[in-house]
Amino acid sequence: MCAFALFFLLFSVGRAQAPDLYEASRLKLDTILGVTNTLILLTSSLFMVLAVEAARRQERTAIIRNLALAILIGLGFAVTKVIEYSAKGDAGISLTTNEFFTYYFVFTGIHFLHFIIGIGVLLLTLNKARRDPLDARFQTWIESAGCYWHMVDLLWIMLFPMLYLLRAA
């Protein structure tokens, strides 16, 4: 989280020094995909919350269903990210194109790595929900998994406007 605060600072300083470059680069991003990614993560987070609530009621079927939905919907984020990265590649845009895109690929790439870890944690939680007793230990596990998943969500919530929505003054 502190690393991302530092990223925001680096980006803000870079943007202040080269506003025209940042604005021209920002216009090459697809805002619709940015909004879509945000909605995907928010919806996946909702099903994670519903899974935790079901765990509190010890309803195994509801836990499994909601976790599976959180994972399936969450995977949509990976699909849109691949589409977005591919489109940038096709347009000849890479990590070394300019400072904005270096930050863009590094920040979203590190966030994506956290996302992949999150999907792994959710898959592990789904496996536990199928086999383990729904006791206090499982409750702590699923709440921890949910906490991590929501952190992936909230980092994207701030990355999205910073990269896609801040127009030049």
Partner 1 sequence: MRLSAVSVWAILVTATLASGFLATGGISAKSVATAVILIAALKIGLVIRHFMELKWVHKPFGPALSIWLVVCATILIGGYWAA
Of 50 and 121, which CB lies nearer to partner 1 in the complex structure?
50
Least distance CB 126 / partner 1 (angstroms): 18
Which of 152, 105, 114, 116 is closest to 11 using CA atoms? 105
Report how far residue 35's alpha carbon sits from residue 26's, in angstroms, rounded to the nearest whole number. Answer: 14
Of 12 and 94, which CB lies nearer to partner 1 in the complex structure?
12
Of 8 and 57, which CB lies nearer to partner 1 in the complex structure?
8
**Which residues would be at the binding site for partner 1 (CB under 8 A)?**
1-2, 4-5, 8-9, 11-13, 15-16, 19, 31, 34-35, 38-39, 42-43, 45-46, 48-50, 52-53, 140, 143-144, 146-147, 150-151, 153-154, 157-158, 160-162, 164-169
Report how far residue 82's alpha carbon sits from residue 121's, in angstroms, rounded to the nearest whole number. Answer: 21
Least distance CB 1 / partner 1 (angstroms): 5
DSSP class per residue in 58-112: T-HHHHHHHHHHHHHHHHHHHHHHHHHHHHHHHTT--TTS-HHHHHHHHHHHHHH
Least distance CB 125 / partner 1 (angstroms): 13
